[in-house]
């Protein structure tokens, strides 16, 4: 990968300039900007939002972006779907898939994107979607911008280079990157093939969760989030812009690159995070806490304590609880869970749940460790142990996940998955 520099901190008021002296001093919109640049503001929240949640950035670019979205032409969305997905297939049982197939042998990140499930409503800014991608070539002169939601990219195979309006981000398995809505970006491959997951968040932008009694130093630290530094393209090479608006895709041919931001400042920008820097909190005496204690990022809803979307990370940690069942217990929640595996083995589902696969357990659908995992945990010698060394992620939502018709028709759907609990027999005497 190329050597890149980053700015550290979560949601900081950053500033960056690729050419010295471009950023205005003491104001945002001077009459004239150095070098004849155009001033432009991008806001991710309403102008009247509370200061604590307000997100915006000022950009100083070679050409104004009002030229980017003219003469938009509808284009085929492929397998990309947006909530509410009227062709989706609501489910009343547990679901799990083997690794998802590639759509095409010659796909970019964008054309290789297929939606697995949606929920909520993008126009009401509720819920989200989870997609899967398989890419075998870079996007080159194609640029994407999503106006429906911010995007969280989580590769599990192959490295990526994200070129954005505000700079570049390297991305490898074991890392995530978040691109706020309205920011243009392109995805290049570092390796021959890349695979991964994408969560599209229609609601409030992801933020660090409130920790209450845990305090500020638990789980993900703000200093471990990395933001790009300004980097621009001044070439007049043609580019194709693909825009997602209200679930539909549109294209526009540009005579130049839209990555022409020479300088910027603000707190709305793409960022990345190294998942293994997450310091998981565990029990010290008995039982184990609710999985919400491992929430890495959260998109709040209008109901306090009930998330639009939570991003939860299950990683290697010490297991020391005394006289306790250590894997997740059997449960059914008001929240709906979509899990994916990035690396390793998930201890509650040692078989059948592998990197590249997904499981869905919707609201009040009971689930938990499979038969083998239950027996193993019940009979285990409860000595302190660490592991397994894995990265499993969950996007949990107050809205039920609706699998797409494409996902439900795949041969990779494990139609016998609900039988994983059939060997659990009554031992009551």
Going 226 to 196 to 123 to 261, the CA torsion angle's sign is positive
Looking at the structure of the chain, the number of domains it has is 2
Is residue 350 scored above 70 in pLDDT? Answer: no
Is residue 213 scored above 90 in pLDDT? Answer: no
Is residue 357 scored above 90 in pLDDT? Answer: yes
pLDDT of residue 237: 87
CATH code of the domain in which 242 resides: 2.60.120.10
Mean pLDDT, range 360-373, rounded to an integer: 90
SS (H, E, C) the chain: CCCCCEEECCCCCEEEECCCCCCCCCCCCCCCCHHHCEEEEEECCCCCCCCCCCCEEEEEECCCHHHCCCCCEEECCCECCCCCCCCCCCCCCCEEECCCCCCCCCCCCCCCEEEEEECCEHHHCECEEEEEEEECCCCCCEEEEECCCEEEEEEEECCEEEEECCEEEEECCCEEEEECCCCCEEEEECCCCEEEEEEEECCCCCECCCCHHHCCCCECCHHHEEEECCCCCCCCCCEEEEEEECCEEEEEEECCCCCCEEEEEECCCCEEEEHHHCECCCCCCCCCCCHHHHEEEEEECCCCCCEEEEEEEEECCEECCCCCCCCCCCECCCCEEEEEEEECCECCECCCCCCCCEEEECCCCCECCCHHHHHHHHHCCCCCEECCCCEEEEEEECCCCEECHHHHHCCCECCCHHHHHCCCCCCCC
Lowest mean pLDDT among 65-69, 127-131, 359-363: 65-69
Lowest mean pLDDT among 230-239, 303-312, 348-357: 348-357
Mean pLDDT, range 396-403, rounded to an integer: 97
Mean pLDDT, range 360-380, rounded to an integer: 89
Work out the mean pLDDT of the chain and round it to a whole number: 94
pLDDT single digits (tens) 119-164: 999 999 999 999 999 999 999 999 999 999 999 999 999 999 999 9
Let me know whether 153 and 294 are in one domain: no
pLDDT of residue 394: 97
In a domain, 196, yes or no: yes
And the tokens for 322?
Answer: 């005394």
Residue in 200, 414, 205, 219 with CA at minimum distance from that of residue 314: 219
Let me know whether 243 and 297 are in one domain: no
In a domain, 396, yes or no: yes
In a domain, 36, yes or no: no
Let me know whether 299 and 369 are in one domain: yes
Place 186 in a pLDDT band, splitting at 50, 70 and 90. very high
Cα–Cα distances in Å, from 86 out to 20, 102, 142, 198? 51, 24, 29, 21
pLDDT single digits (tens) 165-184: 999 999 999 999 999 999 99
Residue 271 structural domain:
6-18+71-90+102-275
pLDDT of residue 66: 93
Q: State the maximum Cα–Cα separation within the chain, in Å, rounded to a whole number.
A: 84
Q: Is the peptide bond before 84 cis (omega within 30 degrees of 0)?
A: yes
Place 292 in a pLDDT band, splitting at 50, 70 and 90. confident
Let me know whether 324 and 377 are in one domain: yes
pLDDT of residue 197: 98
pLDDT of residue 389: 84
Let me know whether 284 and 166 are in one domain: no
In a domain, 29, yes or no: no
Let me know whether 283 and 234 are in one domain: no
Lowest mean pLDDT among 24-38, 92-106, 375-389: 375-389
In a domain, 51, yes or no: no
In a domain, 417, yes or no: no
Among residues 275, 302, 331, the one where a domain terminates is: 275
Let me know whether 10 and 136 are in one domain: yes
Let me know whether 402 and 314 are in one domain: yes
And the tokens for 372?
Answer: 């083998």
Is residue 71 scored above 90 in pLDDT? Answer: no
Mean pLDDT, range 22-42, rounded to an integer: 97
Let me know whether 238 and 379 are in one domain: no
Mean pLDDT, range 215-227, rounded to an integer: 92
Phi and psi angles of residue 335, each rounded to the nearest 5 degrees, phi first: -80, 150
Among residues 260, 275, 290, the one where a domain terminates is: 275
Which residue carries 């749940």 as its tokens?
A: 353
In a domain, 312, yes or no: yes
pLDDT of residue 235: 80
Let me know whether 296 and 252 are in one domain: no
Among residues 275, 300, 319, the one where a domain terminates is: 275
Flag whether the pTM goes above 0.85: yes
Let me know whether 385 and 403 are in one domain: yes
Which residue carries 């939502």 as its tokens?
A: 397
Percentage of the chain modeled with pLDDT above 90: 77
Is residue 2 scored above 80 in pLDDT? Answer: no
Mean pLDDT, range 276-288, rounded to an integer: 88
| Spatial contact of 275 and 175, defined as CB atoms under 8 Å apart | yes
323 or 79, higher pLDDT? 79
Residue of 131, 288, 361, 367 with catalytic role = 288
Let me know whether 256 and 322 are in one domain: no
Annotated active-site residue 288? The verdict is yes
Mean pLDDT, range 11-40, rounded to an integer: 97
Residue in 158, 148, 99, 159 with CA at minimum distance from that of residue 122: 148
pLDDT single digits (tens) 224-234: 999 999 999 98
In a domain, 33, yes or no: no
pLDDT of residue 6: 98
pLDDT of residue 119: 98
């Amino acid at each position: 990968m190329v050597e890149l520099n980053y700015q550290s901190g979560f949601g900081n008021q950053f500033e960056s300039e690729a050419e010295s002296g471009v950023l205005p001093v003491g104001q945002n919109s001077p009459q004239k900007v150095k070098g004849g640049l155009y001033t432009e503001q991008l806001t991710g929240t309403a102008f009247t939002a509370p200061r604590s949640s307000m997100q915006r950035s000022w950009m100083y670019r070679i050409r104004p972006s009002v030229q980017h979205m003219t003469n938009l032409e509808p284009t085929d969305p492929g397998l990309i779907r947006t909530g509410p997905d009227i062709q989706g297939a609501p489910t009343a049982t547990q679901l799990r898939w083997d690794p998802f197939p590639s759509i095409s042998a010659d796909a970019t990140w964008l054309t290789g994107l297929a939606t697995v499930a949606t929920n909520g409503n993008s126009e009401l800014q509720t819920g989200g979607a989870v997609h899967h991608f398989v890419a075998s070539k870079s996007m080159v002169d194609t640029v994407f911008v999503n106006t429906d939601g911010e995007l969280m990219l989580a590769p599990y195979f192959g490295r990526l280079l994200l070129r954005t309006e505000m700079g570049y981000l390297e991305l490898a398995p074991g890392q995530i990157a978040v691109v706020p809505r309205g920011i243009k970006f392109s995805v290049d491959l570092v390796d021959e093939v890349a695979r991964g997951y994408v969560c599209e968040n229609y609601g409030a932008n992801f933020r660090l969760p409130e920790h209450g009694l845990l305090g500020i130093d638990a789980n993900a630290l703000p200093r471990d989030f990395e933001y790009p530094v300004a980097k621009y393209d001044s070439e007049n090479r043609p580019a194709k812009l693909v825009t997602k608006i209200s679930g539909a895709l549109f294209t526009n041919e540009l005579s130049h690159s839209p990555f022409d931001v020479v300088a910027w400042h603000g707190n709305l920008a793409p960022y990345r995070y190294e998942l293994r820097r997450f310091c998981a909190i565990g029990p010290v005496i008995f039982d184990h806490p609710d999985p919400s204690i491992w929430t890495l990022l959260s998109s709040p809803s209008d109901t306090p304590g009930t998330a639009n979307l939570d991003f939860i990370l299950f990683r290697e940690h010490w297991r020391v609880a005394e006289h306790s069942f250590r894997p997740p217990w059997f449960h059914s929640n008001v929240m709906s869970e979509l899990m994916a595996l990035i690396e390793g083995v998930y201890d509650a589902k040692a078989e059948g749940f592998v990197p590249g696969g997904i499981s869905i357990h919707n609201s009040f659908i009971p689930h938990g460790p499979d038969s083998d995992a239950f027996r193993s945990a019940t009979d285990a010698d409860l000595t302190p142990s660490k592991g397994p060394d894995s990265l499993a992620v969950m996007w949990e939502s107050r809205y039920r996940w609706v699998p797409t018709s494409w996902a439900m028709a795949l041969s990779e759907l494990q139609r016998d998955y609900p039988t994983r609990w059939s060997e659990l027999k009554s031992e009551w005497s």
